[in-house]
């Protein structure tokens, strides 16, 4: 690569002149210039100035096996030389998506034995929505097409993803959502529980919002409920234990399909291959992407439950849907090699038995008591830290998002990459983190909190 011939300033100028970034205020970016990340190794990324940064976000919730894995580069290289591309349309396919589908059926919950591929989580959710509506049409109930989702959900950034998602700013720019999708309250106890309401009761109330939406529409008009087992981009919102079993009960009672979006939680993050297994729930579709290849190649896999799959096969008729890159052989080869690493290194078990509990404990012992921390919570290697002005009353600092952005900026200056969602700091590191890496992260975050508190209380 020849980027070394350019100075950082030159690269920033070219970037500003030609590259529109995702989720970015382009005026702001032009004024500030972008940070160039140029290489990465293990749990660290390095910018063009050589600064080492501990990557608390695994890229963007995806690099579960960490950086610099030769096996993945070699799998891609070998596949590109043998067969760089062929499609899976017209009764053709190639060996790697076939073998990956078998592997996914092995690690997925028992009722999930079919896979539909795409290249991103957004595409997979588009497939999921179309498939679920197609299913009910095949069952002779085309009017059973309403989807219930939640405020704060993130399901991608295409028109379908945005419509399924519950991000109000994104909806504000949509100018026409996909019809027949409604949103109810999320199971976010920290902000939405009533004074004196315990977690258990709050979880049941949040689930009841789904039941109310079903009753309002009439169960015959409701196709499915969609939810992230743990809301990720919305701020690592972990539902109380009472929530998911109640959602499952409600879905079964009204014959409403359960669609889980595991684009973030899939492939080990919560200490099982899928969060459905961690939470003990049975879904009809599970959307996965990101860590399927640890981000080394774009690939998504919608896992499809036996109920939907058997109707598709038994009723027949073409499902008019698919992408050029559905089942891309190179991406699938990388996914197989990635799952192999996760298995051989026991990363899922490590999260469940060692690093997940260690992270939970470290957050509680070392950061929860901090003067601007209202709550810490985590599941597996996925965590949130609520930033508040007043721990007792949960009052936030002025200007939503400013406080957490202050923490984030100090963290970054201290070599710690983490994200801020409004006034919640979030962490979703590679699964290769050890206890020592967690210690390092807590120390850097602690320092960032100290510096931010000093700034914010000025
Ligand atoms: N579902 C979930 C649960 C996601 O987290 C998508 C679908 C869409 O995947 P694609 O591959 O189309 O981006 C996601 C993606 C953030 C952030 O800032 C999170 C995502 C994407 C971009 C930014 O936390 N999640």
Residue bearing the CA closest to ligand 1, atom 17: 233
Pocket test for ligand 1, best of 21, 57, 60 (most atoms within 8 A of CB): 60
Ligand 1 atom having least distance to the Cα of 265: 3
Q: What is the pLDDT of residues 117-147, one digit of tens each?
A: 999 999 999 999 999 999 999 999 999 999 9
CATH topology for 35-65+346-457 is 3.90.1150
Q: Compute the distance from residue 392 Cα to the ligand 1 centre, in Å.
A: 33
Q: Is the CB of 269 under 6 A from ligand 1?
A: no
Q: What ligand 1 atom has the least distance to the C-alpha of 153?
A: 3
Tell whether ligand 1 has an atom less than 6 A from the beta carbon of residue 154: yes
Q: How many whole angstroms from 15 Cα to the centroid of ligand 1?
A: 23
pLDDT digits (tens, 9 = 90+) for 251-261: 999 999 999 99
Q: What's the pLDDT tens digit per position in 384-434?
A: 999 999 999 999 999 999 999 999 999 999 999 999 999 999 999 999 999
Residue 106 above 70 pLDDT? yes
Q: If pLDDT is split at 50, 70 and 90, which confidence band does 33 have? A: confident
* Overall average pLDDT of the 217-236 stretch: 98
Domains 35-65+346-457 and 71-344 share a fold: no
Instruction: Please give the distance, rounded to the nearest whole angstrom, from the Cα atom of residue 60 to the centre of ligand 1.
Output: 8
Quickly state the pLDDT bin for 32 (edges 50, 70, 90).
confident
Q: Is the CB of 232 under 6 A from ligand 1?
A: yes
Ligand 1 closest atom vs CA 123: 12
Q: Which ligand 1 atom lies nearest to the CA of residue 228?
A: 3
Ligand 1 pocket: which of 21, 290, 296 to mutate (most atoms <8 Å of CB)?
A: 290
Distance from the alpha carbon of residue 155 to the mean position of ligand 1, in angstroms: 6
228 lines ligand 1 (CB under 6 A): yes
The residue ranges of every structural domain in the chain are: 35-65+346-457, 71-344
pLDDT band with cut points at 50, 70 and 90 for residue 31: confident
Mean of pLDDT over the chain: 97
Our answer on whether the CB atom of 233 is closer than 6 Å to any ligand 1 atom is yes
Minimal-distance CA residue to ligand 1 atom 10 = 121
d(CA 377, CA 237): 9
Q: Which of 158, 159, 232 to mutate to test the pocket of ligand 1 (most atoms within 8 A of CB)?
A: 232
Does 2 have pLDDT greater than 80? no
121 lines ligand 1 (CB under 6 A): yes
pTM (2 d.p.): 0.98
Q: Pocket of ligand 1, candidates 24, 121, 158, 382: which has the most ligand atoms within 8 Å of its Cβ, to mutate?
A: 121
Cα 263 to ligand 1 centre (Å):
7
264 lines ligand 1 (CB under 6 A): yes
Pick the CATH number of 71-344 from 3.30.2320.50, 3.40.640.10, 3.30.2140.20, 3.30.300.30: 3.40.640.10
Statement: residue 1 has pLDDT above 80: no
Atom of ligand 1 nearest to the CA of 120: 11
418 lines ligand 1 (CB under 6 A): no
| Residue 341: pLDDT over 80 | yes
């Amino acid at each position: 690569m020849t980027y070394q011939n350019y100075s950082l300033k030159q690269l920033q100028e070219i970037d500003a002149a030609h590259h529109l970034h995702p989720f970015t205020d382009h005026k702001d970016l032009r004024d500030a210039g972008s940070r160039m990340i140029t290489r990465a190794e293990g749990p660290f990324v390095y910018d063009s100035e050589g600064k080492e940064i501990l990557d608390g976000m695994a890229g963007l919730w995806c690099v579960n096996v960490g950086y610099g894995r030769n096996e993945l580069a070699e799998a891609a290289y070998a596949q590109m030389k043998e067969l760089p591309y062929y499609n899976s349309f017209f009764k053709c396919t190639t060996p790697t998506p076939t073998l990956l589908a078998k592997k996914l059926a092995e690690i997925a919950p028992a009722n999930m034995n079919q896979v539909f591929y795409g290249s991103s989580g957004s595409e997979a959710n588009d497939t999921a929505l179309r498939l679920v509506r197609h299913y009910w049409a095949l069952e002779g109930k085309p009017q059973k097409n309403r989807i219930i989702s939640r405020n704060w959900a993130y399901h991608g950034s295409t028109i379908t993803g945005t419509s399924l998602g519950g991000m109000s700013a994104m909806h504000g720019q949509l100018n026409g959502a996909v019809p027949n999708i409604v949103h109810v309250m999320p199971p976010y106890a920290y902000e939405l529980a009533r004074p004196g309401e315990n977690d258990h009761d709050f979880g049941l109330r949040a689930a009841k919002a789904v039941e109310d939406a079903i009753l309002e529409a009439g169960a015959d008009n409701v196709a499915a409920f969609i939810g992230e087992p743990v809301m990720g981009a919305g701020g690592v919102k972990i539902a109380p234990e009472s929530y998911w079993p109640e959602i499952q009960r409600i879905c079964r009672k009204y014959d409403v399909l359960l669609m889980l979006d595991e684009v973030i939680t899939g492939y080990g993050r919560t200490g099982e291959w899928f969060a459905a297994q961690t939470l003990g729930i049975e879904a009809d579709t599970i959307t996965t992407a990101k860590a399927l290849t640890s981000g080394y190649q774009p690939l998504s896999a919608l896992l499809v439950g036996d109920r939907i799959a058997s109707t598709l096969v038994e009723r027949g008729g073409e499902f008019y849907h698919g992408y050029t890159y559905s089942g891309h052989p190179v991406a699938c080869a990388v996914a197989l090699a990635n799952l192999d690493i996760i298995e051989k290194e026991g990363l899922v078990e490590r999260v469940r038995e060692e690093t997940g509990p260690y992270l939970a404990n470290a957050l509680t012992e070392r950061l929860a008591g901090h003067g601007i921390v209202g709550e810490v919570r985590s599941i597996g290697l996925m965590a949130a830290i609520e930033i508040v002005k007043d721990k007792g009353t949960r009052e936030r600092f002025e200007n939503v998002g400013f406080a957490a952005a202050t923490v984030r900026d100090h963290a970054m200056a201290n070599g710690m990459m983490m994200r801020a969602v409004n006034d919640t700091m979030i962490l979703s590191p590679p699964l290769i983190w050890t206890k020592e890496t967690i210690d390092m992260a807590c120390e850097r975050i602690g320092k960032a909190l100290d510096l931010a508190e000093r700034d914010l209380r000025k």
